[in-house]
Each structure stands twice: as structure tokens, then as C-alpha cells.
Structure 1
């Protein structure tokens, strides 16, 4: 598969992200699928990170499917202004209330224009999709995008503020 979402971005330091729910390179569990899919619960996965670069003042978390048949992929989740002292989000943090997010963090509308995590729902027969769960270490406390901004605009705004990136990629497919 082509379309590496980081291929044309400036190189930055790598750090680690793990999850109790998803495993690098393996299929997503049912609860990380969309609620309209059998077993799907639109449940954002647990994420825990370590080793962020020195100078990190905040984090952003994104979930992106570059294989969605849209011409531009599909943004499933975007969280901004996570304080630098936070290194973990519990499963379900991305519900419609952001109930598991730390104070000050904000969910931007995803590509369905919902301010929450939306689970995987690749079209049947479309083949495997990659789901990138990324923690971005930023050099600012607040990234300064409007709360109604798209995740794509967030990505553009983060371009000059990203110190490091921790990436966890899982897959999904509907037969």
C-alpha cells in the first residue's frame, strides 16, 4: 500500500505510543469499529506514550485512515491542547462528551463533523485499511486552531510546531 501520510512531512523525533486495545500492524478489535458495524462501539482506544522530545509543551492526538475511498483519506479523531504532563488517554476518552480527556483538551470535528471519535467502517470488499493513531508532541501549549477547524487544517497548523511523533498503526477490513 502506498500513501504514507508522513512521507512529505518534515522529519521529527520519534517517541513511543502503546495501547491496551490495539497492537501495531494487527487488526482493530470490534469495539474500535463504528457503531453501525457488528460489534462496533465507536470506542476510542487506550493510548499511552513516553519519550516525548525535550521542549514539548502540549500534545495532539489524531486518528486517520489514508485508505478511505475519498481521495483524501478520512480523519476519525483529533484532540488538541493536551497538557505536556499528560501521557495517557483511557479507552473511551473520545466519546461525545470528551469525558476521558484532560482539562483543557478539545476534540475537533472529524470528517463526519462530529466532535468525537468515530470507529472504523471500511467499505465491504475495499481491502485492508490502515488506521494511524498518532500522538504529536508540540512546542506550544495551545495550537491555536478554531474549535470548528478540520483535522487537515490542524495538520497544516502543526507543521511548524511538531517536535516529535509517536505512531501506532492498526488495520481494518470488511469482507
Structure 2
């Protein structure tokens, strides 16, 4: 059986750069505080090695294993200034501590404009949570916070210069 596709498998290829986190690790399990019921806290993220022509960044979190036929967008954050190279834990949650001025939270699939933690159906198995930092060729996407996650994701693909990903796991037993 082949792996289910990741969101970027459907977009044009771009160079990879590095993303790191004190909160989540590649292939590691999400901690309860990053789940919907356990704290709903957005993770800390940092990035480096992105293309020099980057004019802004976006951060997304997508669950391609959600039983919807189209996955589940947990976080859609865009218009981060090019000089921003990280977000503290919680920047996408609650009162948004450390969220840079001008950054816009798009509507996630919960219908909220913030980070929505992992919440796979009980017993559905292991889900992948793909945290992606997108380096973009424009300062502003030209979208507002009511744009759908799918529309934002498509626009990110068009303007992407590079991507950095961390894929974490979670299962609701």
C-alpha cells in the first residue's frame, strides 16, 4: 500500500529548507498540549536556509489522514514578514503571544482563525500532522482572514519559493 499523499504532493516542486521545533519532532508523537482537548497550544517553530529572495512566510498544519476525503487544515497563518524566522509556542493560540504584527490567521477547518489542535476520531489510527513553513515571493498574499484554507493553500503553492516541513504523529485511542 502506498502512503496517502501529503498536501505538497499536488503543488509544483520547490527547494526545501530547514524547520526545527522545541515542541514537535519529525516522526515524533504530538504532546497532549497540542491537541484540541489537551491544551490546543500551537507549537514553537523556527526556520532557516530559505531562499534569499523570500518576501514573506506562511505557516500551515494539515492532517492528510482525516476521514473527510480532503484532509483537515488545523492552522493557516500567512503574511509573516520576511525578517521573522520563528514563532514561539502559543503564537497561534489564545491571545496569540509573540504573533508578529500584520500576520493573518486564515480560517481553519474548525471554522476558527487560530491553531486548532489534533483531534482525530477515536480508534481511527495514526494521523500525520504536517507543519509547513512556506517561503513566498510576495510580501502579502492579498487574501483576508475569511478565505478558505483550500484557497489559501492553493495561493501558497503558486507563490512558494521553498518549503520546510515537520511531520508529527498523533492517535486518539
Q: TM-score range by the shorter chain?
A: over 0.9
Give the Cα separation in 2 of the matches to 1:96 and 1:109: 15
> Tell me, which stretches of 5 or more residues in structure 2 are unaligned?
none
Could you tell me which residue of structure 1 aligns to residue 161 of structure 2? 163
After superposition, give the CA deviation of every residue in 1:79-112 in whole Å (9 maximum; x if it has no partner). 1100000001000001144332101101111111
Aligned residue for 1:105? Answer: 103
Secondary structure of residue in 2 paired with 1:6? helix
Report the Cα offset of residue 146 of structure 1.
2.2
Is the 8 Å Cα contact of residues 96 and 115 (structure 1) preserved in structure 2? Answer: no
- Identify the structure with the greater helix proportion: 2
Q: Which residue of 2 aligns with 1:149?
A: 147
- TM-score w.r.t. length of structure 1: 0.94
- Aligned partner of 2:113 in structure 1 is 115
Aligned residues: 171
C-alpha deviations, 1:24-73, integer Å up to 9, x for none? 001101111112xxxx1000000000011121000000010010111111
Worse overlay, 3-12 or 59-68: 3-12
In 1, the alpha carbon distance for the partners of 2:145 and 2:30 equals 29
* SS across alignment from 2:9: coil
Please name the residue that 2:74 is paired with: 76
Equivalent residue for 1:92? 90
* CA distance, structure 2, for counterparts of residue 8 and residue 147 of structure 1: 24
TM-score, normalization by structure 2: 0.95
Runs of 4+ in 1 over 6 A off after TM superposition: none
Contact 2:21 2:44 (8 Å CA) reproduced: yes
Q: What is the Cα-based RMSD across aligned positions, in Å? A: 1.0
